[in-house]
């Protein structure tokens, strides 16, 4: 257990039904297991929990504030997926079409039968760059995407998932750029975050840097041989780029548009954006999707051991779905995903609710850690 430390007090509003969330956040901050964090829950598009607390820096000199933002890692993928679904809604993107219809170069090296749904569900066979790249190589998104277009798939597309760890946003983002003309970051800013009033950025302006709480890398733990054995592509996918935890505090990382990993925002912003999915496609007069398009999210594309992560996962189009590995996600019409270190965004369409958690002190675990599970379980229990 970490040494107890004096935490900055929690702030924000919390409906009494969700009081357990504030208790948990306060407890983890007081124990030092959290450094700084925020939790948000919406129901029918309205915030019922919007709390935060702790410190934005390891020196514990700057309190985590209402407008503090941080790198949310793979929670970014849910926003990237939503951007693609907006194009589906507008009739500009067909999930059953080959990717090469919109991005002709992608048909190279045997990928002519890779469908748009395969990119969105981690079943395309293009799980990472081959050969591996450095982190700075990723900052030129079109060039990085071109390298992915030229390579062979690692398995038969559509037959299994292999988590697209970092390159998910390069693949989906290039598809969006080819159709719309705008970069992924521009599209999200102008078509999603802006209309919804959500403080979320894929490609952070320099003017917002002073609000960022840098993440604290998780402790290094040796790879479990059993996991390596169950995930034949794990080492290959994780081979590059390396050094993400070290690079993610640099100005270059923040400015880049890495739609699989470098979204900057807070729990309130993630909950606000995904409340569109929770509420049938429209929130506060902003309609992005129809119920028919939302149904695509819950169309199972793969179910079973993931070739990269090794765990039994289930993917719909753009989001994870309840599965044996997702012990914190109830088996109902819920879609979700988490970020490296423990962050979470979950959407319960039956309860018309979203649950979001972001933090700066990263933990270990595949789909979260003790804190993630505790917050999620408490929130789902309160929703009933």
Beta bridge partners of 192: none
The residues facing 15 across adjacent strands are none
Question: Which whole-number Å values give the CA distances from 314 to 271, 294, 317, 372, in the listed order?
Answer: 22, 17, 10, 19
The conformation of residue 358, written as its DSSP 8-state character, comes to E
Is residue 282 within 8 Å of 320, Cβ to Cβ? Answer: no
Q: What's the whole-model pTM score?
A: 0.97
Q: What per-residue confidence (pLDDT) applies to 261? A: 97
What domains sit in the chain, N to C, each tagged with a CATH number? 11-383 (3.40.710.10)
Q: Supply the DSSP string of 160-185, one letter for each residue.
A: S----TTTHHHHHHHHHHHHHSS-HH
DSSP string covering 238-306, please? TTSS--HHHHTTSHHHHHS--TTTB-EE-HHHHHHHHHHHHTTTEETTEE---HHHHHHHTS--EEEE-
- What is the per-residue pLDDT for 4? 45
For residues 263 and 73, what is the distance between their CA atoms, to the nearest angstrom?
6
CA distance 66 to 277: 24
Neighbours of 317 (CB within 10 A): 25
Closest to 51 measured CA to CA, from 380, 383, 375: 375
Contact 348, 334 (CB under 8 A): yes
298: exposed, middle or buried (Cβ count in 10 Å: 0-12, 13-18, 19+): middle
Give the Å distances, CA to CA, from 283 to 64, 192, 246, 280, 290: 28, 11, 37, 8, 12
Would you put residue 49 in left (φ > 0), alpha (ψ -120 to 50) or beta? beta
**pLDDT at position 230:** 80
The whole-angstrom separation of Cα 308 and Cα 321 is 17
Q: What string of pLDDT tens digits covers the 384 residues of the chain?
A: 444 456 678 999 999 999 999 999 999 999 999 999 999 999 999 999 999 999 999 999 999 999 999 999 999 999 999 999 999 999 999 999 999 999 999 999 999 999 999 999 999 999 999 999 999 999 999 999 999 999 999 999 999 999 999 999 999 999 999 999 999 999 999 999 999 999 999 999 999 999 999 999 998 878 788 888 888 999 999 887 877 888 999 999 999 999 999 999 999 999 999 999 999 999 999 999 999 999 999 999 999 999 999 999 999 999 999 999 999 999 999 999 999 999 999 999 999 999 999 999 999 998 999 999 999 999 999 999
């Amino acid at each position: 257990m970490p040494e107890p430390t004096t935490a900055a007090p929690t702030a924000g509003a919390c409906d009494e039904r969700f009081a357990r969330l504030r208790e948990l956040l306060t407890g983890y901050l007081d124990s030092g297991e959290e450094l700084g964090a925020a939790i948000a829950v919406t129901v029918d598009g309205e915030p019922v929990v919007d709390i935060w607390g702790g410190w934005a820096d390891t020196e514990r000199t700057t309190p985590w504030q209402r407008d503090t933002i941080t790198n949310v890692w793979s929670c970014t993928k849910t926003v990237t997926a939503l951007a693609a679904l907006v194009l589906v809604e507008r009739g500009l993107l067909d999930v059953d079409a080959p990717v090469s219809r919109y991005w002709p170069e992608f048909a190279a090296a045997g990928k002519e039968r890779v469908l748009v749904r395969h990119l969105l569900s981690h079943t395309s066979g293009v799980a990472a760059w081959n050969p591996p790249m450095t982190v700075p190589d990723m900052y030129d998104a079109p060039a990085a995407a071109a390298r992915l277009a030229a390579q062979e798939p690692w398995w038969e597309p559509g037959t299994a998932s292999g988590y697209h760890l970092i390159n998910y946003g390069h693949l989906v983002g290039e598809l969006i750029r080819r159709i719309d003309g705008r970069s992924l970051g521009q599209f999200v800013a102008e078509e999603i975050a802006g209309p919804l009033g959500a403080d979320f950025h894929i490609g952070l302006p320099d003017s917002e840097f002073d609000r960022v709480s840098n993440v604290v890398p998780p402790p290094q733990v040796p790879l479990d041989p059993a996991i390596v054995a169950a995930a034949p592509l794990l080492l290959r996918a994780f081979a590059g780029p390396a050094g993400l935890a070290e690079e993610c505090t640099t100005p270059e990382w923040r400015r880049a548009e890495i739609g699989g990993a470098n979204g900057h925002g807070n729990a309130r912003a993630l909950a606000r954006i995904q409340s569109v999915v929770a509420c049938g496609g429209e929130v506060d007069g902003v309609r992005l999707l129809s119920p028919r398009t939302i149904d695509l999210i819950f169309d199972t594309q793969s179910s079973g051991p993931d070739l990269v992560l090794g765990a039994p996962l289930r993917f719909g189009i753009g989001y994870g779905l309840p599965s044996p590995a997702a012990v914190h996600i109830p088996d109902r019409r819920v879609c979700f995903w988490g970020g490296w270190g423990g962050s979470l965004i979950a959407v319960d369409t039956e309860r018309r609710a979203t649950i979001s958690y972001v933090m700066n002190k990263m933990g270990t675990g595949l789909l979260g850690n003790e804190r993630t599970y505790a917050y999620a379980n408490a929130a789902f229990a309160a929703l009933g």
